[in-house]
Amino acid sequence: MQNLPGKTAFVTGGASGIGLGIAKALLGAGMNVVVADIRDDHLEAARGELGSPERVLALKLDVTDRADYARAADAAEARFGKLHILCNNAGVAVVGPTDLATFADWDWVLGVNLGGTINGIVTILPRIQRHREGGHIVNTASMSGLLPHPGATIYGTSKGAAVSMIECMRAELEPQGIICSAFCPGAVQSNISEAAKTRPAKLAESGYAEADKRRQQGGNFFHLYQTKEQVGERVLKGILNDELYIMTHSEFRQGLEERTEAIRAAVPDLPENAEYKATFSMLFRNPIHAAEIVRQKKLRGSPS
Ligand code: NAI
């Protein structure tokens, strides 16, 4: 998406970490920014860090609450008029072996990460479509969504869904001038280790309490992580370039290549049914992938 100045972005979980980094970058690009977050203390700190009160609206929102979401979208439109960019960024995590997971662990993480993203799409997409000026939807997934790994079954499930959602919507919405991007960062300095503070009492029963305590005591690796400003600028660049996958780290290259090759290698050596292939052609290739290969080669200045 181009011509950002004067347009409006709605960033969930925008008052801390990656969301705040995205909000800063979009504000720096001349946009109005709605920062929607469940935590009052994060909202207060974000107001101070972002400044520019004339172009920033910091709103309390629980993305799992659909009525709350509609009210927040109404308030955003009342303040800035049209909404153009939706960043489905609010997210929480539990980490540890799958057999420790309770239903509440699954419901909480999927409720925020996937349910909150669904609520963003259903609430905000029609508002973007209505003004016909185009727009952009960014789902903050994770490299865990592209390269799932042991110990992150619930989180990886939510993030894989966030990527798939973008891959399904992209070709549908592109003709309307609405671009969809999956943001897939590696590790970023943030407050996600405090996520349990926003966990609702009715979903409190966790199998990960001990694992969480041990992890909190396990040391701080922030020196290995990118900053929220670095990744915020990366998202801005990804939006301006219409990138399908917005990535931040090269360390995952081999893992991604192995996963892609493993999937390719598993395709059976059977004769194709030409009629099946012709009848349902849209199932066998998604045009966004070929287009992205061309886009990325162009961005890197290599011949397509
Ligand atoms: P963070 O904890 O610093 O920021 C997340 C914000 O979301 C917080 O301000 C929190 O109050 C808010 N939030 C939580 N539940 C909410 C709800 N129900 N409704 C509204 N707001 C809610 O964490 P971080 O790391 O910046 O996370 C942002 C996104 O980035 C998440 O989706 C996370 O999964 C993803 N991510 C983070 C990575 C990292 O290394 N920090 C790496 C890859 C992805």
pLDDT above 70 as % of the chain: 99
How many helices (H) and strands (E) would you count in the chain?
12, 7
pLDDT digits (tens, 9 = 90+) for 44-56: 999 999 999 999 9
Sheet holding 178-184, edge to edge: 56-60, 32-37, 8-12, 85-88, 135-140, 178-184, 245-247
Residues lining ligand 1, judged by CB closer than 6 Å? 12-13, 15-19, 37-39, 42, 61-64, 89-93, 112, 116, 140, 142, 185, 187-188, 190-192, 195, 198
As annotated, the active-site residues are: 155
pLDDT at 304: 54
Alpha-carbon distance of 181 to 98, in angstroms, equals 29
Q: Which of 18, 47, 202 to mutate to test the pocket of ligand 1 (most atoms within 8 A of CB)?
A: 18
**Pair 26, 56: CB distance under 8 Å:** no
Mean pLDDT of 118-146: 98
Alpha-carbon distance of 70 to 77, in angstroms, equals 11
pLDDT at 239: 98
Residue nearest to atom 34 of ligand 1 (CA): 91
Question: 302 pLDDT band (50/70/90 cuts)?
Answer: confident
pLDDT at 214: 80
Q: How far is the CA of 270 from the centre of ligand 1 (A)?
A: 44
150-154, 205-209, 210-214, range with the lowest pLDDT? 210-214
Q: How far is the CA of 209 from the centre of ligand 1 (A)?
A: 19
Q: How far is the CA of 189 from the centre of ligand 1 (A)?
A: 11
pLDDT at 303: 67
pLDDT at 216: 76
Question: 264 pLDDT band (50/70/90 cuts)?
Answer: very high
Mean pLDDT of 250-277: 98
pLDDT at 142: 98
Q: Which of 90, 62, 75 lies closest to 34, judged by CA?
A: 75
Mean pLDDT of 60-75: 98
Residue nearest to atom 41 of ligand 1 (CA): 188
Asked if the model's pLDDT at residue 219 lies above 90, the reply is no
Mean pLDDT of 295-302: 94
Q: How far is the CA of 132 from the centre of ligand 1 (A)?
A: 30
pLDDT at 243: 98
Q: Which residue has the tokens 């990527």?
A: 163
Q: How far is the CA of 66 from the centre of ligand 1 (A)?
A: 19
Residue-wise over 181-219: b if at least 16 C-beta within 10 A, else e? bbbbbbbbbbeeeebbebbeeebeebbbeebbeeeeeee
pLDDT digits (tens, 9 = 90+) for 75-90: 999 999 999 999 999 9
Question: 215 pLDDT band (50/70/90 cuts)?
Answer: confident
Q: Which of 24, 38, 41, 44 to mutate to test the pocket of ligand 1 (most atoms within 8 A of CB)?
A: 38
**Pair 83, 137: CB distance under 8 Å:** no
